[in-house]
Amino acid sequence: MGNIKIGIIGLGYVGLPLARLFATKYPVIGFDAKKARVEELMTGHDSTQEVDDETLRSVLRKNTLDKEETGLYCSYSLEDLRSCNYYIICVPTPVDKHHNPDLAPLYKASETVAKVINKGDTVIYESTVYPGVTEEECIPVIERISGLKFNIDFFAGYSPERINPGDKQHTVEKIKKVTSGSTPEIGEKIDHLYSSVITAGTHLASCIKVAEAAKVIENSQRDINIAFVNELSKIFNLMGIDTQEVLDAAATKWNFLPFKPGLVGGHCIGVDPYYLAQKAQDYGYHPEVILAGRRINDSMGEYIASQVVKCLIKKGNYVKGSHILVLGFTFKENCPDVRNTKVFDIIKALKDYNTNITIYDYWAKPEEVKREYNLEIANELPKDKFDAIVLAVAHNEFLKLDIKNMIKQDGIIYDVKGLLKSNMVDGRL
């Protein structure tokens, strides 16, 4: 494939694992605008814990690398990117408070690449978007700033990320990768680039829009399925039926899909459907199923809080002034990622009842939770006894706790994740 030097823009949950993988075979410059993040990585430590220290240090190099040397050099200096000929953008694509797609990080990353891209180079986007964003929104930014012409002077591709934060089994090289290019020839080159490091193989889509659409429906499909079982949980709770027992029975059929009720947060499943919904509305179509699923899943935090309150009342406890311990704050188990965590919705709703909330999560960073949510969390288990405990996140460590011994005599346990046996809890989804 000639002399390849790859620049990865964004060294978060997606960019760093990809940079580490490519660095086993190519020279890679990892770029991040956050100086503290770059300095941390260059010491050989990743605070997101997606890449362990030993693996990271095995690929780190202490210089900017040439096109003959493999390895990873991390930098916040734009000039270090200039020698690359493949640029892979791995920045977040959030939504605003009105659930509208926020493309600002993509625009900024496109501007960064535009300042250093040369003739013949290729830029590849991995961020989740709706169909059309790469060619209609991002490429014009690069053309305008660089002065280069798309598909004449430079080329583009789209290969959606499939990172599952905290998952040490399905790592980036073990997940089949969808690829695409702005021309058939570029598509083949990009596919070959990824297939050289992705052991699970690749799937070359016919065009960029197909690849974009494939990514956005992956998480939309999961969102809708989870919304269905969340609605079932509400119905069966009114009937006095244990939802988990129903799901266990139904799962004995060979083609039953094993989804469980719960909170849908994070940076993908709780966000991606809004991207597809927005684009559909641009074409005059109002998506009913997608947005209905979003409404149900976004309502679960407040619903769980109301169920906790009901459990307290049934045991004769005062709600106002009660002391409640929330176990877990990250958006999913066994990772420090607190982006778009729906545990916040539970806490916010419980505080509306004038309860006293203590949050314990040894994975989450207190300074990040304080900055993003203005909440205090503990990294050490409180020794007090509580009126209620809400098991909100399925961290492995929580399975070792003697939760029964952490509540007062008439205290209650609410199990959001279905980790505990039904006879141990006062309520669960």
What are the residue numbers of the active site? 268
Smallest Cα–Cα separation from 122: which of 66, 72, 183, 171?
A: 183
Both tokens of 18, joined, read 């990809």
How far is the C-alpha of 255 from the C-alpha of 244, rounded, in Å?
18
Using alpha carbons, list the distances in angstroms from residue 63 to 28, 32, 68, 83.
11, 16, 13, 13
Residue found under tokens 């535009």: 114
The DSSP bridge partners found for residue 359 are 326
Beta strands in 246-322 (DSSP E): none
How far is the C-alpha of 131 from the C-alpha of 126, rounded, in Å?
13
Smallest Cα–Cα separation from 94: which of 265, 305, 346?
A: 265
Smallest Cα–Cα separation from 198: which of 236, 229, 159, 165?
A: 159
Crossing angle (nearest 10°) for helices 300-314 and 343-351: 50
Which contacts qualify for 143-150: CB closer than 8 Å, 24 or more apart?
143/114, 144/114, 145/111, 145/114, 145/115, 146/114, 146/115, 146/117, 148/117, 148/119, 150/182
